Structure 1
Amino acid sequence: MLVTIDNVHKAVGIPRAAFPVLGGLSVGLIALAYPEILYWGFENVDILLESRPFVKGLSADLLLQLVAVKIVATSLCRASGLVGGYYAPSLFIGAATGMAYGKFITFAISQSNPMFHLSILEVASPQAYGLVGMAATLAGVCQVPLTAVLLLFELTQDYRIVLPLLGAVGLSSWTTSRQAKRKDVGDPGKLKEGNVTQKPDLSSHDPSVLSSSYSVAAKASYASNLCEVESSLCVDDSNSETKELEKRIFVSQAMRTRYVTVLMSTLLIEAVSLLLEEKQTCAVIVDDDHLLIGLLTLEDIQEFSEREKARIRRSKEVLVSEMCSLDGEKCRVPWTVTPGMNLFSAQMIMNTLGVNQLPVISDHVEDHKGHPVGLLDRECISLAFRFGY
Structure 2
Amino acid sequence: MVILSAVIASVVSEIGLGSEPAFKVPDYDFRSPSELPLYLLLGVLCGLVSLALSRCTSFMLSAVNHLHRTVGIPRAAFPALGSLATGTIALAYPEILYWGFENVDILLESRPFVQGLSADVLLQLVGVKIVATSLCRASGLVGGYYAPSLFIGAATGMAYGKFINIAVAQPNPTLQLSILEVASPQAYGLVGMAATLAGVCQVPLTAVLLLFELTQDYRIVLPLLGAVGLSSWVTSGQKRRKGDKGTAKLNEGNRRPTQEPEMSPSETSEHSSGYVLTEKAPYENNLCEVESSLCIDDSSYETEVFKNKVLVSEAMRTRYVTVLMSTLLTEAVSLMLAEKQSCAMVVDDNNILIGLLTLADIADFSKIMKSENRITKGLLVSELCSLDGKGCQVPWIAKPSMDLLSVQIIMDSHGVNQVPVVSEHIEDHNRQPVGILDRECISVTFRALATRESLR
TM interval, shorter chain, is 0.5 to 0.7
Identity %: 62
Task: State whether structure 2 residue 213 is matched by structure 1 residue 154.
Answer: yes
SS at match of 1:77: helix
Whole-angstrom CA distance in 2 between matches of 1:115 and 1:138: 31
Whole-angstrom CA distance in 1 between matches of 2:65 and 2:143: 19
Residue by residue, what CA displacement relative to the aligned partner does 1:368-389 show, whole Å, maximum 9, x if unpaired?
xxxxxxxxxxxxxxxxxxxxxx
Residue by residue, what CA displacement relative to the aligned partner does 1:277-326 show, whole Å, maximum 9, x if unpaired?
xxxx99xxxxxxxxxxxx9867799xxxxxxxxxxxxxxxxxxxxxxxxx
SS at match of 2:279: helix
CA shift at 1:10, angstroms? Answer: 2.2
Which shows bigger deviation, 46-55 or 17-26?
46-55
Given candidates 372, 389, 402, the residue that maps to 1:248 is 389
SS at match of 2:98: coil
Task: State whether structure 2 residue 92 is matched by structure 1 residue 33.
Answer: yes
Report 1:182-331 matches (<5 A).
182-185=241-244, 188-191=247-250, 195=254, 222-223=278-279, 225-226=281-282, 228=284, 238-239=360-361, 244=385, 248=389
Q: Partner of 1:174 in structure 2?
A: 233
Q: Partner of 2:316 in structure 1?
A: none
Q: Partner of 1:73 in structure 2?
A: 132
Q: Is the CA contact 1:94–1:134 (under 8 Å) kept in the aligned structure 2? A: yes
CA shift at 1:100, angstroms? Answer: 0.4
Q: Is the CA contact 2:195–2:228 (under 8 Å) kept in the aligned structure 1? A: yes
Whole-angstrom CA distance in 1 between matches of 2:424 and 2:405: 11
Whole-angstrom CA distance in 2 between matches of 1:139 and 1:131: 13
**RMSD of Structure 2 on Structure 1 (CA):** 4.4
Distance 1:78 1:166, change over 3 A: same
Q: Partner of 2:336 in structure 1?
A: none
Q: Partner of 2:318 in structure 1?
A: none
* AA of the residue aligned to 1:171: L
Asked which structure has the greater RCO (Cα within 8 Å, sep 6+), the reply is: 2
Q: Is the CA contact 1:334–1:353 (under 8 Å) kept in the aligned structure 2? A: no
Distance 1:134 1:244, change over 3 A: farther
Larger Rg: 1
Q: Is the CA contact 2:167–2:175 (under 8 Å) kept in the aligned structure 1? A: no
Whole-angstrom CA distance in 2 between matches of 1:105 and 1:3: 37
Whole-angstrom CA distance in 2 between matches of 1:4 and 1:101: 32
Q: Is the CA contact 1:188–1:221 (under 8 Å) kept in the aligned structure 2? A: no
Whole-angstrom CA distance in 2 between matches of 1:39 and 1:152: 21
Q: Partner of 2:105 in structure 1?
A: 46
Q: Structure 2: give runs of 5+ residues left out of the alignment.
A: 1-59, 256-274, 291-356, 366-383, 407-422, 439-456
CA shift at 1:337, angstroms? Answer: 7.3
Given candidates 107, 112, 131, the residue that maps to 2:166 is 107
Q: Is the CA contact 2:157–2:188 (under 8 Å) kept in the aligned structure 1? A: yes
Given candidates 425, 428, 439, the residue that maps to 1:333 is 425
Q: Partner of 1:8 in structure 2?
A: 67
SS at match of 1:190: helix
Whole-angstrom CA distance in 2 between matches of 1:355 and 1:246: 25
SS at match of 2:254: coil
Q: Partner of 1:123 in structure 2?
A: 182
Distance 1:157 1:11, change over 3 A: same
CA shift at 1:225, angstroms? Answer: 2.0
Distance 1:142 1:62, change over 3 A: same
Whole-angstrom CA distance in 2 between matches of 1:191 and 1:355: 14
CA shift at 1:194, angstroms? Answer: 7.7
* AA of the residue aligned to 1:127: Q
Given candidates 9, 22, 28, the residue that maps to 2:81 is 22
Which shows bigger deviation, 173-182 or 151-160?
173-182
How many residue pairs get aligned? The number is 256
Distance 1:53 1:81, change over 3 A: closer
CA shift at 1:107, angstroms? Answer: 1.2
Distance 1:192 1:74, change over 3 A: farther
Whole-angstrom CA distance in 2 between matches of 1:194 and 1:300: 22
Residue by residue, what CA displacement relative to the aligned partner does 1:320-371 show, whole Å, maximum 9, x if unpaired?
xxxxxxxxxxx95346679xxxxxxx6xx45x44589xxxxxxxxxxxxxxx
Q: Structure 1: give runs of 5+ residues left out of the alignment.
A: 197-218, 256-280, 283-294, 302-330, 339-345, 357-389
CA shift at 1:41, angstroms? Answer: 1.2
Distance 1:117 1:54, change over 3 A: farther
Distance 1:88 1:245, change over 3 A: farther
Whole-angstrom CA distance in 1 between matches of 2:89 and 2:427: 56
* AA of the residue aligned to 1:98: G
Distance 1:104 1:147, change over 3 A: same
CA shift at 1:6, angstroms? Answer: 1.6
TM-score for both structures, normalised by structure 2: 0.47
* AA of the residue aligned to 2:141: L
SS at match of 1:36: helix
Whole-angstrom CA distance in 1 between matches of 2:245 and 2:386: 33
SS at match of 1:48: helix
Q: Is the CA contact 1:194–1:239 (under 8 Å) kept in the aligned structure 2? A: no
Distance 1:140 1:227, change over 3 A: closer
Distance 1:55 1:46, change over 3 A: closer
